[in-house]
Amino acid sequence: MVIKILGSGCANCKKLEQSAQQAVKELGLEATIEKVEDFQEIIAYGVMKTPALVVDEIVKSSGRVLSAEDVKKYL
C-alpha cells in the first residue's frame, strides 16, 4: 500500500502525515508513506485544497486534517 500526503509541507500537512503514520502502525499494515510537495503533481491528482490523502493513487480526502481514526477508515 502506498499512502501519499499532498501539500506544501505546512503544519496541517505534517499533522496529516503523523495521523497516517499512527493509523498504519495501529492497524499493523505494511505501507509506504510519501510526501508530495510538487504543485504540478498535486494538481495532477485534481486536488485544489491541501492537505490531501491519497491511498494507492485514489484521492480519499482533501482540504482536511484527518485524525488517525479518520485515516483508518480510508485504509
Pairing verdict, β 32-36 and 2-6: parallel
Laid out side by side, the sheet with 58-62 consists of 32-36, 2-6, 52-55, 58-62
- Is residue 10 annotated as part of the catalytic site, yes or no? yes
State the catalytic residue, choosing from 3, 5, 6, 13.
Answer: 13
Read off φ and ψ for residue 22, nearest 5 degrees.
Answer: -65, -40
Is 49 designated active site?
A: no
Report the alpha-carbon distance of residue 21 to residue 11 in Å, rounded.
Answer: 15
Active-site pick, 2, 8, 9, 10 = 10
- Residues with a known catalytic role: 10, 13
